[in-house]
Structure formats: structure tokens, C-alpha cells
Amino acid sequence: MTLAIGQDAPKFVSKDQNGKPVALEDYLGKKVVLYFYPKDSTPGCTAQAKNLRDHFDALVDAGYTILGVSTDSEKRHQNFIQKNDLPFSLISDEDQSVHALYGTWQLKKFMGKEYMGTVRTTFVIDEKGKISHIINKIKTKEHSEQILSLE
């Protein structure tokens, strides 16, 4: 599935790191940064999460709610959040259902091998639940700046 700017963001219900249900509809009236990343505690994903953490106040001041999504378990998310002092929720998408809605679970190649995995992508969703921006070329150490420059 290919999503485009101006479309309604696909609605989903999944669970956060604490097993609490998270529904995109709960965030209507707020701007949401929904970022998909491959795996907790890997170098690029850690750099991206820390960059968002370090600029969290600026993102909140700009009106954003941050939600990370990966296929990691709730327990792995808890450990990742605790280890890196992350101030935002991470959604556990172990069955790739949220990834499927957003088209971020795709065939990838690494060192000549093909496998299914997460394509690092960020969707910025406006107050009305529409996709206002899609960031495909993520700079993990400058991700907050990429988001804040959209204003």
C-alpha cells in the first residue's frame, strides 16, 4: 500500500510498551509523529530515538505527539525506553498489522540476501487525522530537525 500526503492516516489499535491499547483516533485534535523503525537497541534506531528524546521539548512545543512503531515486543520496548530514558511511547507491532496499513513492511536486501523488514519511515499526521508529511530519507541523528523544519 502506498500512502500519500492529504490522505486519511490509516486507523489502528495496537499496544504500547505497557500493554495499554493505543488507537490513532485517540490523537484526533493533535499532531502526531508516527515513526516506523526496524529494531530496538540497534545503532541507527538508538540514535534516532535519542535524537527525538533530546529534542522532545521542542517537538512538544511545536504541538507534536511522538509514537514509535516497531515489531519488537512490549518487554523489549520497556527495556529500550528505560535504557535510553525515552519520554514517548513505543507501539509493539509484532504481527506487522500496523506496518501493513502504512506500507512499511517490505522486501529488503542486505549482503545479497532478501528478507521482509521495516522500511524506516515517518508519517506526520495533522489534527484532522490526515497525513501532512511523509519522511522517507530519515537522518537518524537529525530526525527531530527534519520534523521541525516541516513547520
pLDDT at position 110, please?
A: 84
Q: Is 45 an annotated catalytic residue?
A: yes
In the structure grid, which three cell numbers stand for residue 150, read together? 516541516
pLDDT at position 2, please?
A: 82
Q: How far is CA 50 from CA 45, 111, 113, 119, in A?
A: 9, 28, 30, 19
CATH number at 13-148: 3.40.30.10
Is residue 22 predicted with pLDDT exceeding 90? yes
pTM for the full model?
0.95
Ramachandran area for residue 19 (φ above 0: left; ψ -120 to 50: alpha; else beta):
left
| Distance from the first to the final alpha carbon of the chain | 27
Q: Calculate the average pLDDT of the chain.
A: 95
Q: Which of 45, 59, 67, 86 is catalytic?
A: 45
pLDDT at position 57, please?
A: 97
* pLDDT one-digit tens code per residue, 35-62: 999 999 999 999 999 999 999 999 999 9
* pLDDT one-digit tens code per residue, 119-146: 999 999 999 999 999 999 999 999 999 9
Which residues are CB-neighbours of 4 under 8 A, at least 6 positions away? 131, 134
pLDDT at position 1, please?
A: 58
Q: Provide the percentage of residues in the chain whose pLDDT is more than 90.
A: 93
**C-alpha closest to that of 140 among 46, 60, 21:** 46
Environment class of residue 135 by beta-carbon count within 10 Å: exposed (0-12), middle (13-18) or buried (19+)?
middle
Alpha-carbon distance of 2 to 41, in angstroms, equals 28
pLDDT at position 10, please?
A: 97
